[in-house]
Amino acid sequence: MIPLYNGQGCIRRSIQSVLGQTYSDFELLVIDDGSTDGGPEIVRTFTDSRIRLIQQENAGASVARNRGIAEARSEYVAFLDADDEWDPPFLDAVVHLSVAYPRAGILATGYRKVFPMGPSVEITVAESRALQIDDYFRRLQGGSIVHASAVALPARVFQELGGFQEGYHCGDDQEMWARVALRYSVGYDPRILSSFHQRGRQPKRQSRNPRPRDLLLTRLQTALNATPANPPAHNEDIRRLARRRFHLYLWQFALDGDRRAALEFLDNSGAQDVDPLLARAYRAAWLWPALCLWAQVLRLARSRPFLRLRGGQRILCGVIQRLSTPA
């Protein structure tokens, strides 16, 4: 299922990557979310009977994904953004995962971040073969192993837990995976089978909720408030992840030099309870220049040149991030 909004420059590539799958028993739903360019016309040039174009007024990617889930006729739903692409074995991989781990709520593979220049960055688990992941929240501290263009879910999971949170222009996918991982394991193939393009991203409509809010952090806080229902070790992983997420969110505000947005986030999210000391630091105007400088240092530490200096890869919490080597 592909949500499409003004993606005429990339939708052909995405559709071709689906039609080129080694597994061929699928339907492809393209949900046109009120595009104003020629994207829908490009979809109509494909004559493959497995493709269905569904059009709706512009409402956002999460609404489009939920529409696709409602329209889907399969037992499983796989997602692909209009500017990304699958490697030919991707659907074969998730089908094999569904057989090997029939009780898993998420089926995912490794993926690569593709940049206009320089090497790609591959993100996957530090394992050599497919596995069942029961410690999703611990691994998430090392990097996001589940990506919106490298994942499939059983339709029954959406019937049980509901669809994507609507009204937000980002973060709804990560919140969805966390909501599922609180109840189900993850079936994972460590092979790199999807490409996440970092430039030329399709335009996204403005969020209906303009307040800065991290949906994943909100979901983690909700889980922590229900600690008696979860094993203690699981709760500790969630608590550590919530703290890390809080830090990353404020780090991004400092990186942008947007103190007003940082204060609005602190006022509206209730996230200051995760790390009161850091929240107080961000409220101190005299500390803001130092925080902005520290954010630049952190950006450098997360950059591809720094990763190259570290030998081209890093492993944290069972997740590996590595620079790809040319074929």
Integer Cα distance of 251 and 262 in angstroms: 9
The pTM for the full model equals 0.90
| Backbone region of residue 60 per phi and psi (left: phi > 0; alpha: psi in -120 to 50; beta: other values) | left
The pLDDT value recorded for residue 327 is 52
Q: Residue 64: pLDDT band by 50, 70, 90 thresholds?
A: very high
Residue 208 banded pLDDT, cuts 50, 70, 90: very low
Output the average pLDDT for the chain.
90
Question: Model confidence over 179-191: pLDDT tens digits?
Answer: 999 999 999 999 9
| d(C-alpha 3, C-alpha 308), whole Å | 34
Residues 50/111/247/302 CA torsion (nearest 10 deg): -140
The string of DSSP letters for 78-119 reads EE--TT-EE-TTHHHHHHHHHHH-TT-SEEEEEEEEE-SSS-
Which domains are present in the chain? Answer: 2-197 (3.90.550.10), 216-308 (no CATH)
Which string of DSSP letters, residue by residue, matches 292-322? HHHHHHHHHHTSHHHHHHTTSEEEETTEEEE
Give the model's pLDDT for residue 206.
43
Q: Classify residue 151 by its DSSP letter.
A: E
pLDDT tens-digit map of 82-126: 999 999 999 999 999 999 999 999 999 999 999 998 899 999 999
